[in-house]
Amino acid sequence: MNILVLNGPNLNLLGKREPEIYGSRTLQAIMAELTDYANSQDAMLFHFQSNAEHELIERIQSLLVNGSDNNAPIDGIIINPAAFTHTSVALRDALLAVNVPFIEVHLSNVHKRESFRHHSYFSDIAQGVIVGLGEQGYRFAVDALITKFQQTN
Ligand code: DQA
């Protein structure tokens, strides 16, 4: 099984950025550990972070063009769209276009925060949504995608 993890704007600043909300670990450390975890579960993990909406869209579209990473099809996506969660119809449309099951993850509990964070352009088309559990949320998403994959393959 191959999983693509997408992280949106400012998540490259994890560790420095509002640590009381987002924790003190870097994105690099979190993704390295997640990759090891996925590998231990016989899944491959590919990670892409960008601050640019068009780059995230192009990465998603590349699944149609190439159909793959390392010639292996992507079976599931984990996405933390960060601030684009609340703004991006274009990213939503890209995910609908490739039709790969995805899980939406947020480190913080967006529902405890400002009201503009309460609406997501992704939740109604996601397989599931994980909020407020910090970096553990990514691991739960890996587990959920693997379980789903095993049930259907
Ligand atoms: C976030 C929540 C968003 O509202 C915010 O813009 C982020 C991070 C989270 O992981 O909690 O950048 O997606």
Active site includes 106? yes
Residue 153's pLDDT band (cuts 50, 70, 90) = confident
Q: Which atom of ligand 1 is nearest to the CA of 21?
A: 11
Is 138 among the catalytic positions? no
Identify the three-state secondary structure at position 30.
helix
What is the distance between the alpha carbons of residues 98 and 60, in angstroms, rounded to a whole number? 7
Say yes or no: CB of residue 106 within 6 Å of ligand 1: yes
DSSP sequence for 34-60: HHHHHHHTT-EEEEEE-S-HHHHHHHH
> Which residue, judged by its Cα, is nearest atom 3 of ligand 1?
82
DSSP class of 103: E
pLDDT per position as a tens digit, 62-87:
998 765 555 568 999 999 999 999 99
Nearest atom, ligand 1, residue 22 CA: 11
pTM of the model: 0.95
